Structure 1
Amino acid sequence: MGNFLSQLINKDHHDSNLPDVHLDFESTSPTDGDTESYSNVLQMLEPTADLLARLRAYEGCGEYIRQAIGDPSPETEALAWSHVKPAVDNLKMFYKYSVTIEGFLPQILEILCIGDVNKNLEKHQGLAKLLCKLLDFVFEFDSLKMKTPQIQNDFSYYRRCLSRGKLSNEVDLKSAMSEDELANQVSMFYAYPTPMLKTVTTVTTDFVSKHNVGRSVSECLSTLAGVCYSTVSNNKKKPQKPTTIAFCLRVMVIAIIIYDHIDPQGAFTKSSPINIKSSVKAIHSHGNSNDTPNLISALRYNTKHLNDSSTPKAVKTLMASCA
């Protein structure tokens, strides 16, 4: 399989479209004009480590729910509720953070994507790095969410409790109605396999439609993907920390996916500024054992144009062979 992949990748290997932009992912700081926006976005990103830790530690309430449903009694139902309630509090917290992203991402895109994109990225390197950190969080969150199928079951039981008036003794009617509306929104959020990616993709698509800046946003995303690829592929010449390599690969993949959703031609055509074959090679050559399968799966299942007739057969074969 390794030799086969190598043949597919090297058959059309070229890096001529790499951007002439450099980002120092390990020590970038804000410029003088960036201070306020950088500080605001940095503050917005502060909860991400805690959110990931909470999701990583999520155990689910399946055992208690099964007992409450299979042997219903005030005791079993109270025990189930005592576990479901704090679990759902975390799920609400994750959802509410996605709403926070919806508010901040357009501000970042406006600074980086209105006007000359390359100059913007050079001028606002600190903010560009924070955008990369946001995309990294998106990948990590969704990877963890996909490994936590208990979420759907726990939240379904919570909604069942709501419909039975479980909160009637805890809150007033107005609050109960508000809670039910929030539950609907949270349920829709978790209905997607990759809810954070869905959030940033939708926000970016809406931003493009509102400001008619599809070309600029596509250029920004392809440039970020290219910068990440360059950082990884030049690792021998300019050694990077393993954590930086892993970070760049995750950001590269999310940038490619969003690009593929907002660019009419997508990321897989021959005219695309993104070299998919080189990107896949970088993942296989430099990715760690934990991330590599998830990175390839993300490209296969979350992109929009992979199966289009305009996608070269060699690229389709390459992606299929990575299964």
Structure 2
Amino acid sequence: MTVYLNHVEIKGHVAFCTVCICCLPCPGLPAMGNLIKVLGKDLENCPHFFLDFENAQPTEAETAVWNQVSAVLEEAHGILAELQSYNGAGQEIREAIQNPNDLQLQEKAWNAVCPLVAKLKRFYEFSLRLENALRSLLEALTSPPYAPMQHLEREQALAKQFAEILHFTLSFDELKMTNPAIQNDFSYYRRTISRNRLNNQQLEAENEVNNEMANRMSLFYAEATPMLKTLSNATTKFVSENKTLPIEDTTDCLSTMACVCRVMLETPEYRCRFTNTDTMLFCMRVMVGVIILYDHVHPVGAFAKTSKIDMKGCIKVLKEQPSNSVEGLLNTYCILSTPKVIKHKANPFISAVD
């Protein structure tokens, strides 16, 4: 087994400890499972952790929630693959619009759009399941008697799932933002349905996507980043419905996760523990995602002086990455900025894009 020799400096005193590559509890540091505390100069204000996003496994106490969320996450890869291959029915729709009296072209466009709308319905329904999964994780990671920081220490597998939801969410929304065919297809579908209703005709496709479902899907796809908006609304709703749970418990969970990602991205000793090159992008997505959620839930937002997120540090980490890796993340944040963020004239996210 390969062993690394690390040193930790605490108030002028240097202690040496060995840390093995499998991240077993180190005898030179307090035992904290696979979550290793990183001692930094701002430890009192911003707890630093290294979280094994690649290998964390559920404990017995986590199993029930982990299984529930895992069943949802198993669908995530398929959803992304379907969205990535979504080409739309643009050609068929254009031909139908240009030749309104050609029934054959109208039927061709309709037959091309219907299976695509069924796919869009699956995406929307998955967002509802993802919302429920997020709620289960928030309940588990903020419930008494433990503080959010303790939850993240004790329940690494759930923290990893929380990160995976955010990673999926930003990946989905980046694909959606660059594919105008989604809204074009759905708009054509709705116009065709409305036109046939006026003519007292009902199409078979209405049985699958009725008017109520179509209205909800329209609101969903009208958002620039629909999945992230869903999670933001779900987090806000979770806080408002749990009156006995201090809002700080939820925001502290988010700010701690942002700090975890920042430390892993900016510290070479911790980056070298990643066995998968995609973990860097994973951490960046998660960091941006939790900052957005924090900004939506916290009364004064992520950029206030009282914020527990080191925004300058987070931006510095992002700007040090290749521009093609972070441009989409920065754009996502600017699009989903809340009014309280816009009020901050020195918004580092916006200046980073500029």
TM-score tier by shorter-chain length is 0.7 to 0.9
The percent of aligned pairs where both chains have the same amino acid is 38
The answer to whether the 8 Å contact 1:268/1:276 transfers is yes
TM (norm. structure 2) is 0.80
Tell me how far apart the structure 2 counterparts of residues 169 and 135 of structure 1 sit (CA, whole Å): 37
Q: CA contact under 8 A between 1:162 and 1:180: conserved in structure 2?
A: no
Distance 1:322 1:89, change over 3 A: same
Correspondent of 1:216 among 249, 258, 265 = 249
Q: CA deviation at 1:150?
A: 1.3
The equivalent residue for 1:58 is: 86
The one of the two structures with greater contact order (alpha-carbon pairs below 8 A, sep at least 6) is 1
**Partner residue, 1:5:** none
Q: Write the distance in 2 (CA, Å) between the matches of 1:163 and 1:272.
A: 48
Paired residue for 2:337, among 303, 313, 317? Answer: 303
In the other structure, the counterpart of 2:210 is 179
Q: How many Å separate the matches in 2 of 1:82 and 1:169? A: 11
1:68–1:21 CA distance, 2 compared to 1 (3 A):
same
Are the counterparts in 1 of residues 69 and 161 from structure 2 also a CA contact under 8 Å?
A: yes
Change in CA separation of 1:161 and 1:318 when aligned onto 2, cut-off 3 Å: closer
Shift of 1:298: 2.3
Matched-pair contact (CA < 8 Å) for 1:68–1:77: yes
Contact 2:319 2:352 in 1 (8 A): no
Shift of the alpha carbon at 1:56?
A: 0.9
Q: 1:267 to 1:129 in 2, by over 3 A?
A: same
Inter-partner Cα distance in structure 2 for 1:200 and 1:233: 27
Structure 1 Cα separation of the partners of residues 341 and 268 of structure 2? 28
Q: Distance in 1 between matches of 2:58 and 2:216?
A: 35
Q: Which has the higher helix share?
A: 1
TM-score of the aligned structures, taking structure 1 as reference length: 0.87
Q: Which amino acid aligns with 2:319?
A: H
Match of 1:294 among 308, 316, 328: 328
State which of 173, 180, 184 in structure 2 corresponds to 1:153: 184
* SS of 1:33 mapped into structure 2: coil
Name the CA distance, whole Å, in 1 between partners of 2:46 and 2:320: 18
Spell out, residue by residue over 1:161-212, the C-alpha distance to the aligned partner (whole angstroms, 9 max, x if none). 21233872537x8x47x61211111011001111001100001000001113
Give 1:101's aligned amino acid.
L
Give the Cα–Cα distance (whole angstroms) in 2 for the partners of residues 277 and 299 of structure 1.
Answer: 15
- State how far apart, in whole Å, the 1-side matches of 2:155 and 2:196 are: 51
1:71 maps onto 2:106 in alignment: no
Aligned position for 1:106: 135
Figure out how many residues of one structure are paired with residues of the other and give that number. 302
2:10 aligned residue? none
In the aligned structure 2, how far is the partner of 1:125 from the partner of 1:160?
Answer: 48
Higher radius of gyration, 1 or 2: 2
1:139–1:148 CA distance, 2 compared to 1 (3 A): same
1:159-174 equivalent positions in 2, closer than 5 A: 159-165=190-196, 168=202, 170=204
Q: Choose the corresponding residue for 2:290, options 251, 255, 263.
A: 255
| Partners of 2:218 and 2:42 in 1: CA distance | 43
Change (3 A) 1:235 1:88: farther
CA RMSD of aligned residues (A): 2.0
Distance 1:321 1:289, change over 3 A: closer
Q: Cα deviation per residue 1:203-251 (whole Å; 9 max; x = unaligned)? A: 1000001113311110000011110111111134541232111000000
* Ranges of 4+ aligned residues in structure 1 off by more than 4 Å: none
Which position in structure 2 is the counterpart of 1:9? none
Runs of 5+ unmatched residues, structure 2? 1-40
Change (3 A) 1:318 1:188: closer
